[in-house]
């Protein structure tokens, strides 16, 4: 039976580990996010972002098997998996993904789509590593999870810098190809870790009944995750299909910068599932949700330094500055939705509810994007449609889990803070806007969310002091 627990040391440690990994990832992503568009042509940058758009959907091709593992081992220990569990995971996925890889490679070859062809080649390693990450995340092995993030980021960064500054190439396929090479290397590295750290014996253990069972249990969650990916990428498909290559490059640039914020959201999303699986204390979860809200509203202030970089360093992408602030606003809602509500659905095994919600939100998103495109025909219009879609998703989640329904203080806090952020970004210079927004959100936090502000302050600086003390 689950037991009631508070925000304990294990959760804090998990958040700290993933946070550190994502801080490393942030430094690397900052360089990639601003250096690549600076030195590559707009067309090559657009090709690389097209690969990333395709790669988002690789996980769907595992048909829910990794998601079944995620649900199977949620709240358990890594020792519960054992050698047989890892060997079954590997064997089952290799057989399943080989078939899909062949189909993808043939399709890419026949259509002459080189980006799609390269994406197909990476299906097996990406989904195997993803399965191991799911097991680590579900069992609370955040140190192993974090190392995978670190190694991936560092290797991609090193290869990219070599191609950019030593080879000095603008060939987008070389950059994409290096990403694929890294996925294979990470796969080998993870397999080696199984034998060294977890003392698992690597072997072949194909188990078709287990494969089918995990697909059955995980496919609804996979469809939910797929719908979530589709929900967060509908805007890019509209831009890619209906606007110019330049529009897509500008919009994709903002997505790259926005992902830097997501790096700090990931620790919450990653660690909260294991925590929610073993607690029924909704008051504790509500406190965490309020902390996430305060933290995310301070976090999106990173849009102002990004705007400053655009103004002084990356003028050819300056046209994307308005989209920057619109899309950054969505991250406030994404942190609550993905970190709290989605993990509650998963822990309660309410995957079907999650899926139904997402399908409805995607339909709403498509309609809104179409309406805003028709009237605005611009990146800004599609970005506003995306923000409105995410707000609707957030409202649906609040209604679905009434135990943690936001009170009037939370609602008023968001209603004032988000417009303050967007207006400061639109009409003030980067430095002035940053000062005005930070002062404003600090005052609002002290008025409406003082307890949560104090909790965030104590937690963040407590972890910093602990790390520095070591």
- What six digits make up the tokens of 431? 């430095």
Regarding predicted confidence, which is higher, 82 or 291? 291
Alpha-helical (H) ranges within 401-429 are 408-427
Please report, to the nearest 10 degrees, the dihedral formed by the alpha carbons of residues 243, 61, 267, 156 taken in order.
Answer: -70
pLDDT over 80 (residue 34): no
Q: 187-244, pLDDT tens digit by residue?
A: 888 877 767 655 666 666 667 777 787 787 777 777 777 777 777 788 888 998 898 8
Q: What is the pLDDT at residue 201?
A: 65
Q: What is the pLDDT at residue 3?
A: 43
**How many Å apart are CA 165 and CA 151, to the nearest integer?**
21
CA distances, 10 to each of 143, 346, 415 (Å): 12, 20, 34
CA distances, 346 to each of 11, 121, 142, 274 (Å): 18, 31, 19, 10
DSSP string, 280-337: --HHHHHHHHHHHHHHHHHHGGGHHHHHHHHHHT-GGGGGGHHHHHHHHHHHHHHHHI
Rg (CA), the chain: 22
Looking at 15-24, 91-100, 211-220, 400-409, which range is the least confident one?
A: 15-24
Selection from 49, 351, 51 nearest residue 226 by Cα: 351
Regarding predicted confidence, which is higher, 281 or 359? 359
Q: 41-75, pLDDT tens digit by residue?
A: 888 888 888 888 888 888 888 888 777 777 766 66
Q: 146-188, pLDDT tens digit by residue?
A: 677 677 778 888 888 899 889 889 998 999 999 899 989 888 8
Q: What percent of the chain has pLDDT over 90?
A: 23
Q: What is the pLDDT at residue 43?
A: 87
Contact partners, residue 273, CB within 8 Å, separation at least 6 = 70, 74, 137, 138, 343, 346, 347
**How many Å apart are CA 267 and CA 258, to the nearest integer?**
16
C-beta pairs of 55-60 under 8 Å, 24+ apart in sequence: 55/119, 55/122, 55/126, 55/179, 56/229, 56/233, 57/226, 57/229, 58/119, 58/122, 58/123, 58/126, 58/127, 59/126, 59/127, 59/130, 59/222, 59/225, 59/226, 59/229, 60/222, 60/225, 60/226, 60/229
Mean pLDDT over 262-270 rounds to 68
DSSP designation for 203: -
Q: What is the pLDDT at residue 422?
A: 96
Mean pLDDT over 345-360 rounds to 80
Q: 435-454, pLDDT tens digit by residue?
A: 999 999 999 999 998 888 88
The burial class, CB within 10 Å (0-12 / 13-18 / 19+), for 42 is: middle
Selection from 293, 283, 291 nearest residue 334 by Cα: 293
Q: Where are the domains of the chain?
A: 9-469
Selection from 31, 25, 28, 268 nearest residue 142 by Cα: 268
The residue whose two tokens read 């080189």 is 114
CA distances, 61 to each of 64, 273, 353, 380, 386 (Å): 8, 23, 22, 32, 26
Q: 118-155, pLDDT tens digit by residue?
A: 999 989 988 888 887 777 777 766 666 667 767 777 88
Regarding predicted confidence, which is higher, 114 or 140? 114
Compute the 3-state secondary structure of the chain and give helix, strand, coil in percent, each to the nearest 5: 85, 0, 15
Q: What is the pLDDT at residue 426?
A: 92
Q: What is the pLDDT at residue 199?
A: 60
Regarding predicted confidence, which is higher, 196 or 368? 368
> In the predicted model, what is the mean pLDDT of the chain?
81
Selection from 51, 192, 193, 206 nearest residue 122 by Cα: 51
Q: What's the pTM value of the predicted model, to 2 decimals?
A: 0.72
């Amino acid at each position: 039976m689950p037991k009631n627990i508070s925000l304990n040391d294990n959760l804090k440690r998990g958040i700290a580990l993933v946070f550190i990994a994502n801080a490393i990832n942030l430094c690397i992503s900052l360089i990639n996010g601003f250096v690549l568009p600076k030195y590559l042509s707009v067309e090559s940058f657009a090709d690389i972002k097209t690969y990333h758009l395709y790669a988002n959907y690789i996980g769907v091709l595992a048909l829910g098997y990794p998601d079944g593992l995620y649900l199977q081992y949620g709240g358990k220990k890594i020792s519960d998996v054992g050698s047989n569990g890892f060997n079954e995971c590997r064997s089952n996925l290799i057989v399943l993904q080989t078939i899909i890889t062949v189909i993808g490679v043939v399709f890419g070859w026949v259509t002459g789509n080189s980006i799609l062809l390269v994406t197909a080649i990476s299906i097996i390693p990406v989904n195997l590593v993803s399965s191991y990450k799911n097991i680590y995340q579900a069992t609370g092995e955040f140190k192993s999870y974090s190392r995978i993030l670190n190694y991936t980021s560092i290797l991609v960064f090193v290869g990219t810098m070599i191609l950019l500054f030593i080879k000095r190439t603008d060939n987008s396929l070389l950059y994409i190809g290096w990403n694929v090479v890294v996925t294979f290397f990470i796969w080998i590295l993870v397999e080696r870790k199984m034998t060294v750290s977890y003392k698992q014996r690597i072997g072949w253990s194909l188990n078709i009944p287990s494969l089918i069972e995990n697909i059955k249990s995980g496919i609804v969650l996979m469809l939910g995750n797929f719908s979530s990916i589709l929900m967060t990428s509908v805007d890019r498909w509209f831009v890619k299909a209906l606007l110019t290559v330049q529009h897509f490059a500008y919009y994709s640039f903002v997505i790259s910068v926005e992902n830097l914020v997501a790096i700090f959201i990931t620790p919450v999303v990653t660690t909260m599932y294991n925590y929610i699986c073993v607690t029924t204390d909704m008051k504790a979860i509500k406190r965490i949700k309020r902390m996430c809200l305060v933290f995310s509203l301070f976090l999106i202030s990173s849009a102002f330094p990004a705007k400053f970089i655009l103004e002084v360093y990356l003028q050819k992408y300056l046209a994307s500055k308005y989209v920057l602030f619109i899309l950054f606003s969505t991250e406030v809602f994404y942190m609550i939705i993905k970190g709290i509500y989605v993990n509650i659905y998963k822990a309660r095994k309410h995957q079907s509810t999650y899926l139904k919600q997402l399908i409805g939100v995607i339909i709403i998103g498509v309609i809104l994007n179409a309406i805003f495109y028709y009237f605005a025909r611009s990146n800004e219009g599609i970005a506003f449609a995306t923000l409105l879609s995410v707000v609707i998703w957030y409202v649906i989640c609040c209604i679905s889990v009434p135990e943690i329904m936001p009170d009037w203080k939370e609602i008023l806090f968001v209603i004032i803070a988000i417009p303050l952020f967007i207006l400061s970004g639109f009409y003030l210079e980067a430095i002035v806007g940053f000062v005005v927004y930070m002062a404003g959100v600090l005052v609002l936090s002290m008025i409406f969310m003082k307890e949560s502000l104090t909790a965030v302050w104590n937690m963040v600086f407590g972890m910093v002091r602990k790390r520095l003390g070591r």
